[in-house]
Each structure stands twice: as C-alpha cells, then as structure tokens.
Amino acid sequence: MKLLLISNSTNAGDTYLRHPSEQIGKFLANTVGQVLFIPYAAVTFSYNEYEKKVQDRFAQLGYGVNSIHHSSSPVKAVEESECIVIGGGNTWQLTRCLHDNKLIEAIREKVLSGTPFIGWSAGANVACPTIRTTNDMPIVDPLGLHACNFVPFQINPHYLDAHPEGHAGETREQRIQEFIEINPDLYVVGLREGTMLELIDRQIMLIGPRPARIFRKSQSPVEVNPGDDLSFLLQ
C-alpha cells in the first residue's frame, strides 16, 4: 500500500493545502497524471467549490483533479482511478456518502492493490478500521461505523494537548483514554496539526514539525518524533 494520511488541510494563517503540498508532490513523484477527488465530507459548501480548491493546489504540483460527484458510476470511477484523494470536513457525512455509494469496499480493494491514497482530516479517519476516533459531531447516521481499514490502528486528527482555562469538559486525551479502555487491542495515534503519516508497503514514517502521541490500554502515552520507526503500529 501507499498512503499519505494528513492531520489537517490548513495551518493557522496559511493557505489551503500549502503545508502538505511538498510532501504530496514527493509522495506522488509524477507517477500519476490525474487524481480522483472524493468531496463527500463537505457540508456547508458545494462539491464544485471543494473540487476547485483542491484543483488549484494540485495544479501547482502538476496533477489534474476530477471529483467523483461528476461520475454516473462512483464505483467505476474508483476502479479506473490512478490515485484516490479524500478531503476533510465532517467524517459522519463522508462515511454516510461512502456507504450510500457502495464505495467502502471498492476503495479498499483499489488501495490494497497499490493505488496511492491521500486523505486529510476526515479523509484520514476513513483510512482506519472505524471512524470512532473522529472529533466530529454525528450530524447524520453513517449506516455503520466501519471504514476502509487500510491500517489496523485509529487516528485522531487535529490532536490537541490543550485544556482551555474555564473548560470543565474532558480533554482530548481523556476521550482517547475512554476509547482504549473499551478497545484495549487498538493503538490510537494523536496526529497534531501540520503532521502526517506516510505508509509505503510496511514502513510508516511521521512527517511534520511536531511529535505524535500514541495511546494503548495499560501503557503510558508515548511521544514519537518524525523519523522514528512506527512499524509497531502495524502489528
């Protein structure tokens, strides 16, 4: 497999997809001409608007972008794709649309056969076994929590260490601790802003300016740095 799983599309004060653009270029390395974009996580803006934003950035890297919402057969579009890209937004809405269009298995089979996959935020969530570690509000019934299951661990994109003054609710870490209490055999990767995981074959690398935080039941959370060997996540 060849995966690039990105925590977020835009860093504070930056332009759309600028921070991961260099790594996207290296990841694809001129091996494809056109990418298939899946915009289903969009809720408050149109698929056409989303497609245009992604087209503008990918064009600078030398790649064409065609959104799946133009296709009369989404499954066929996946089967014929050179690269699959899933954008961020609401993970529950994204998953519902993937189920409605019968794309979970189609995407899984295509990516397992070697087609490159790029996902950010919600798009990184659906690379996991389930969407249960998303931060998003469940605005729709997703018709099942299972996702594409490319990797055997969960990701929490936009991971935050902060506990704002005056906030009496649970921290992100406490929520993840609840998850691993119920799911003791799963790792959860807290993927901070500006960072991403690159998986090629059986090797995983953390890329970006910050460490990631790894959670598993009965183990203290571990900080891993860019360049560390993360292959244990695939066990």
| Residue 178 phi, psi (nearest 5) | -60, -40
Q: Which two tokens stand for residue 207?
A: 């890329």
Catalytic residue from among 158, 161, 167, 201: 158
Determine the pLDDT at residue 84.
98
Q: Are 112 and 104 in contact (CB under 8 A)?
A: no
pLDDT per residue as tens digits for the range 12-67: 899 999 999 999 999 999 899 999 999 999 999 999 999 999 999 999 999 999 99
Higher pLDDT, 215 or 227: 215
Concerning whether 158 is annotated as a catalytic residue, the answer is yes
Nearest to 98 by CA among 51, 147, 139, 155: 147
Determine the pLDDT at residue 167.
74
Which is it for strands 196-200 and 203-207: parallel, antiparallel or unpaired?
Answer: antiparallel
Catalytic residue from among 121, 141, 185, 218: 121
Q: Are 124 and 94 in contact (CB under 8 A)?
A: no
Determine the pLDDT at residue 163.
72
Q: Residue 34's beta-bridge partner residues?
A: 64
Looking at the predicted structure, is the pLDDT value of residue 214 above 80?
A: yes
Q: Which two tokens stand for residue 63?
A: 């790649």
Nearest to 125 by CA among 113, 137, 133: 133
Q: Which CATH class is domain 2-160+190-210+223-234?
A: alpha beta
Concerning whether 228 is annotated as a catalytic residue, the answer is no
Q: Give me the amino acid identity at 99.
A: H
Mean pLDDT, rounded, of the chain:
96
Looking at the predicted structure, is the pLDDT value of residue 164 above 90?
A: no
Instruction: Return the domain boundaries, the chain.
Output: 2-160+190-210+223-234
Catalytic residue from among 136, 141, 161, 201: 136
Whole-angstrom distance, CA of residue 77 vs CA of residue 165:
48
Whole-angstrom distance, CA of residue 85 vs CA of residue 186:
25
Band of residue 161 on the pLDDT scale cut at 50, 70, 90: confident
Q: Residue 197's beta-bridge partner residues?
A: 5, 206
